[in-house]
């Protein structure tokens, strides 16, 4: 197991990614372009977190964690568009927003730790 795979942040990001895939799998009427972009953004959170963990310098690590955080914000925007366009249950939307909020807070702490 790689070190980053033990991070609670990494595990939370995997859980969000699975929630997104489950949502889209169970709702095939969602436009393909929304689906594709949302999958890419949620994948980017995980991929950039892993890539940052593999870098040596704190500045390099921070750079990838910042990209990961930007992708988390992209996921929020895309989920909002999808939930508004397709009238999904608001409780599902709120649960996913809470997952993303937790991930963003964790990423923000990680980014700040690399600024010292």
Q: Which pLDDT tens digit goes with each residue over 40-88?
A: 999 999 999 999 999 999 999 999 999 999 999 999 999 999 998 987 7
pLDDT score, position 90: 85
pLDDT score, position 51: 97
Length of the chain equals: 116
Q: Is 25 a residue whose pLDDT tops 80?
A: yes
pTM of the model: 0.94
Residue with tokens 């890419």: 40
pLDDT bucket at 103, cuts 50 / 70 / 90: very high
State how many domains the chain has. Answer: 1
Q: Could you tell me what percent of the chain has a pLDDT over 70? A: 100
Domain with 25, as residue range(s), is 3-113
pLDDT score, position 115: 86
- Judge whether 13 and 69 are in contact, CB under 8 Å: no
pLDDT bucket at 1, cuts 50 / 70 / 90: confident
CATH number at residue 59: 1.20.1440.60
Longest dimension (CA), the chain: 47
For 26, residues 6+ apart whose C-beta sits below 8 A from its C-beta are: none
């Amino acid at each position: 197991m790689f070190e980053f795979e033990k991070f609670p942040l990494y595990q939370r990001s995997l859980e969000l990614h699975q929630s997104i895939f489950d949502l889209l799998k169970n709702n095939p009427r969602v436009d393909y372009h929304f689906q594709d972009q949302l999958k890419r953004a949620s994948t980017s959170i995980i991929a950039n977190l892993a890539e940052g963990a593999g870098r040596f310098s704190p500045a390099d690590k921070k750079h990838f964690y910042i990209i990961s955080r930007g992708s988390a914000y992209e996921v929020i925007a895309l989920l909002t568009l999808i939930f508004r366009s397709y009238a999904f249950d608001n409780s599902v939307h709120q649960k996913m927003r809470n997952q993303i909020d937790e991930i963003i807070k964790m990423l923000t702490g990680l980014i700040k730790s690399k600024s010292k």
